[in-house]
Structure 1
């Protein structure tokens, strides 16, 4: 039997990579993580999930957003103070997260190999390190590999990026700008998260999106509520529009000419229309693995194996849903499959969370999906204004929607828009995955006053329109 330096080598220290590494170590395997960042954590920690969510929380704090219903919000007369507060919180949060990750990997005896990884054989990686201007290369071998390198912003040549007035999401994460106005190109998750953050700072925002509908994978009623909230705040949505060209004036401020001839002018342009896999230097051709036009890898969704059975891939690099939470689970499942361990909960529904302002969360089937699959459904709606907690918080614009199977009475899907949605969704997750339904939610006692009561309100909303259960003899 061939001898290798490690049983399992993970390329990338983000959510998928580190969860896979720890899982493989717990299975008694020798494991290493190869990461080319100065600090461990991957895109999730340094330019993606944590920075954007930390910025969001900081902005809501310094602007008094959560108290807007009861008092006037702070004005933008202390921009420098606001930036300092946001950057300080960001630095502290990311530093703490890196310490936690380092500790977790160390406790599980996972080796961290710093440098850029490149396949140079079927079971062999070359790792290039740059230290004080000096390059060194060494190699490691492994029985099995996981590619979890994540993605980077898509930067088409037609966009005049300059790092100051025309930027991508990595630039925002590094140092939140405070322009007088901004155009966000891309109405996906990242674009809408940042668009609502800037709007909360009372910066005029225009969103340009080529599709006719934003967030097409989210239930239509939730998106309608979300779009109405954006409209109420003055966010201008230009849907179904593409960019013809972009010009910069003497100050570098962009003017976007759309395909219908209309112009959008602003002080800054944030381009968030897509991401690409960070695979260009991995040497995939050496192991016979191909990627698509956006650098994503195709895998068997059950095993997470690539076209090479001993090489797995997980996380953003394999495409939708490209969330930190699902990436972690994919990494765990890949490690389990690689070493013959049973995979638990692989059939369960996973929640989606979008940290816009307000938040959006979803699990299970949307109403459209349920009907398309042949279910006869009943819908229960609860608006946050129907809960006492909503009034206490001044948070009355949100809503919760439950999809029930009309005959089996089970819960098929939950969809929420409003503050706290990404926390509330886990109640629905538990009920769906435990095959519960309307009778549990309508009979259950929730703490009062809480936003969680919305589940009971939604269940009771649907209850009177559903056939009554047969009484037991």
Structure 2
């Protein structure tokens, strides 16, 4: 193959086969475009093979283990509980493989050409694909960059330190797990491994978590109830290792020196835009100091026929955001009027109980200058929560006092990941208090907690 020879002409080249990339490719193909999708590893990306799916599978297993206590209460006769990690790993890998085959079939159905290889821009109209000893060059009309985020790798790594992609795919349950940081992965891992029998400690430099203060209050209570040790405002954190034990020395919030030991530890990762080897300067695409690509509301880079979607564009690093952006980019390329302009991006953390938030927190609404009406309803009052014994949590609604327009909704409680969809749709439709009061909500259900919170905002809720 002669370098520079044009072997293919494509209308759309998508670089990266994760949720943002394959969604963009599918939507572009559905709109009649000839699409080439380039993926370095396997379709589905980090989300499917290393992140979202493995982590939620482990969390599901942990929740199943916890459910046995409730099963005994409602009449099931159980003779002990043993968790076999090897069996779980087989289940986890079978699930990943099944979903991978689904993504592959989706691309085939939409006649998308998929190439495995490493992509790099040669110019702003040509991209190369290296596949072992093979080197192809493709000329494109439009390109969509969806290469995601990469982990900033430290020069030195202790052997007891877990890589982010290892955290939820361990071959054994840690005896003592130390988590340093306070991001979503740490919260999820803390609850999951605690349910599976590990002793868990969290050390964080921050004084609190980043949720609405009402949600944070209950999260802290649940961590304490689960006997997960949390050290906030820690400083001077130093790590050392002897044999298979890590030693963490730090100063507590009160200045007292402390030392914790663990068999495994994970430190919150720093994420960078996965753009280092793409040759973006040759395509006249600029990145910030962390490698993330700046885009406009149509997902265009400063080079108007090159787009970027998903985690490669920076925070928030959420699959939901990337999937939506992938569709928008494809529609813009196809000549449709489309734009990303929504502040209603949901965030879900599978803690115990789960957290789901969208829109402004109470703190953010105040900072933005709103006079607000706030309603809170405890899951303790919910009839269905009484049946399932999932009574921990609240639903909190935040409305603009003047217009009664929904500004944000925040939940911690069973079913929160599903309930938050109501708030997303309501926010997109500029719903007011009466719009959320009007519909009928099923009884008994967790949904009634949402209705009660809205009603409290209207009647006895606090004005702030």
Given that 1:187 and 1:273 are in contact with CA atoms closer than 8 Å, whether structure 2 keeps it comes out as no
Separation of aligned partners in 2, 1:353 and 1:417: 10
Given that 2:359 and 2:407 are in contact with CA atoms closer than 8 Å, whether structure 1 keeps it comes out as yes
- Given the alignment of the two structures, is residue 45 of structure 1 paired with residue 43 of structure 2, yes or no? no
Partner of 2:287: 291
Matched residue SS, 1:171: coil
Partner of 1:56: 59
Partner of 1:93: 95
Partner of 2:301: 306
> How far off its partner does 1:63 sit?
3.9
Separation of aligned partners in 2, 1:367 and 1:157: 41
Would the alpha carbon gap of residues 179 and 76 (structure 1) be closer, same or farther in structure 2, given more than 3 Å must change? farther
Q: RMSD value over aligned CA atoms?
A: 2.6
Partner of 1:383: 378
Given that 1:303 and 1:334 are in contact with CA atoms closer than 8 Å, whether structure 2 keeps it comes out as yes
Using structure 1 for the length normalisation, give the TM-score.
0.89
Separation of aligned partners in 2, 1:75 and 1:136: 58
> How far off its partner does 1:65 sit?
6.4
Find the partner of 2:232 among 229, 236, 239. 239
> How far off its partner does 1:68 sit?
7.8
Which deviations, in whole Å up to 9, do the C-alpha atoms of 1:284-337 show, x marking residues without a partner?
A: 23224343443322222x122223222211111111111111110011112222
Partner of 1:471: none
Separation of aligned partners in 2, 1:67 and 1:144: 55
Partner of 2:217: 224
Separation of aligned partners in 2, 1:377 and 1:66: 41
Unmatched 5+ residue regions in structure 1? 468-473
- Given the alignment of the two structures, is residue 206 of structure 1 paired with residue 198 of structure 2, yes or no? no
Would the alpha carbon gap of residues 257 and 294 (structure 1) be closer, same or farther in structure 2, given more than 3 Å must change? farther
Matched residue SS, 1:333: helix
Find the partner of 2:22 among 18, 24, 29. 18
Given that 2:398 and 2:457 are in contact with CA atoms closer than 8 Å, whether structure 1 keeps it comes out as no
Using structure 2 for the length normalisation, give the TM-score.
0.90
Partner of 1:150: 148
Partner of 1:254: 246
Find the partner of 1:28 among 21, 28, 32. 32
> How far off its partner does 1:64 sit?
2.5
Aligned residues: 452
Separation of aligned partners in 1, 2:219 and 2:313: 28
